Amino acid sequence: MTELRIYHTKIEPQWIDFNGHLRDAYYGLVASYAIDDLMDFLGLDAGYRARTHCTLYTLELHLHFLHEVKSTDDLRVESVILDFDRKRIHVGCRFMCSRVSDPVATTDMMLLHVHQGDKPSSTPFPEEVQAKLAQLQASAAARDAFAPGSRKIELKRR
Amino acid sequence: MTELRIYHTKIEPQWIDFNGHLRDAYYGLVASYAIDDLMDFLGLDAGYRARTHCTLYTLELHLHFLHEVKSTDDLRVESVILDFDRKRIHVGCRFMCSRVSDPVATTDMMLLHVHQGDKPSSTPFPEEVQAKLAQLQASAAARDAFAPGSRKIELKRR
């Protein structure tokens, strides 16, 4: 069983662009808020950050846009831990709308645990966070089912 | 010579997150605005969209975060046409700050030309837009130099 962390949000009117749908960048903002929520859940919350000067930095992010999202839609983000090591988390998010049965978008991103100071540097997660990550980590099957996963973007000639 | 389309923006105070730097998602918003600017340049502007009911949809987007951006920084986006076909554009953007010599981030995305109606469907670019794309397209060398390009995200065990 994959543990999912669920984040809900309303669509703000200013997130709709001239195409009459959710602007691409705001999927990223919703994912960013979902990761804030996941950080709280993992114990990497405001108190932890103030106490340790440690936080997560995003290294890389991929987004697939699968269905249009309209101003009247709701949005639910299901986050899964695809992989992690001592300092990094590979997290995947599925964007779901009640109107559509399939995901309307997916994203996956690489996050790095960083000690902030004069010169930010990567640092291992505390043991209790590693334990929580291990608990939450998706099974190999759930990981393989996370599609579309990230890949090289290119135009394939037909 | 690669033709670059340059877009400038200030960093809005609300774009800075609890880490004291530009929130990941707002690189995406800046890129989204840079693409709006590129659309105007290509003739896919508001007048074109109203007249033809055609526009660009983003299919996929990758972002690499390379250096922190602070509230006091400026931001310049250099956009290049990496590739295109009759209906799609593969565009790359480099994010530059005056404070840092290297790009602070890169993104590449796949855009699709869509006729919006009851059921949006992909449709070829008009000839004059294809001609402009051909003019702007990066050379093979400039394209290869666009790094880091998109790729599969994964944790490589060391």
CA-nearest residue to B106 within chain A is A60
CA-nearest residue to A120 within chain B is B68
Given this model, what pLDDT does residue A115 score? Answer: 98
Q: How far apart are CA A32 and CA A26, in angstroms?
A: 9
Q: Which two tokens stand for residue B47?
A: 């007048």
Cross-chain residue pair A29–B32, CB shorter than 8 Å: no
Q: How close A154 gets to chain B, by Cα (Å)?
A: 7
- State yes or no: pLDDT of B158 exceeds 70: no
B interface test, pick of A24, A55, A133 with most B CB neighbours within 10 Å: A24
Q: How far apart are CA A95 and CA A145, in angstroms?
A: 15
Q: How far apart are CA B99 and CA B24, in angstroms?
A: 19
Given this model, what pLDDT does residue A150 score? Answer: 79
Higher pLDDT, B27 or A144: B27
Task: Return the CATH number of the domain spanning residue range B5-143.
Answer: 3.10.129.10
- State yes or no: pLDDT of B2 exceeds 70: no
Given this model, what pLDDT does residue B69 score? Answer: 97
Given this model, what pLDDT does residue A143 score? Answer: 85
Given this model, what pLDDT does residue B25 score? Answer: 98
ipTM: 0.93
Q: How close B62 gets to chain A, by Cα (Å)?
A: 4
Cross-chain residue pair B83–A155, CB shorter than 8 Å: yes
Using the structure block, give the residue that is written with the tokens 């055609």.
B54
Given this model, what pLDDT does residue A42 score? Answer: 96
- Output the average pLDDT for chain B: 93
- State yes or no: pLDDT of A18 exceeds 60: yes
Binned at pLDDT 50, 70 and 90, residue B140 comes out as confident
**Sequence-ordered strand ranges (E) for chain B:** 5-10, 54-65, 74-84, 88-96, 105-115, 121-122
Binned at pLDDT 50, 70 and 90, residue B100 comes out as very high
Residues of A with CB under 8 A from a CB of B: 17-20, 23-26, 28-29, 31-32, 46, 49, 55, 57-65, 68, 83-85, 88, 90, 108-110, 116, 120, 149-155, 157
Cross-chain residue pair B150–A152, CB shorter than 8 Å: yes
- State yes or no: pLDDT of B87 exceeds 70: yes
Given this model, what pLDDT does residue A158 score? Answer: 61
- State yes or no: pLDDT of B1 exceeds 80: no
Q: Which two tokens stand for residue A81?
A: 């831990």
Percent helix, strand and coil across chain B, each to the nearest 5: 30, 35, 40
Cross-chain residue pair A60–B58, CB shorter than 8 Å: no
Q: Name the residue among A17, A151, A154 with its Cβ closest to that of B152.
A: A151
Return the CATH class of domain A5-144: alpha beta
CA-nearest residue to B115 within chain A is A19
Binned at pLDDT 50, 70 and 90, residue A152 comes out as confident
In chain B, % of residues over pLDDT 70: 97
Binned at pLDDT 50, 70 and 90, residue A154 comes out as confident
In chain A, % of residues over pLDDT 90: 82
Q: Which two tokens stand for residue A131?
A: 């334990």
pTM beyond 0.90: the answer is yes
Mean pLDDT confidence for B14-25: 97
Given this model, what pLDDT does residue A2 score? Answer: 54
> Mind listing the pLDDT tens digit for each residue in B38-51?
999 999 999 999 99
A interface test, pick of B12, B61, B157 with most A CB neighbours within 10 Å: B61
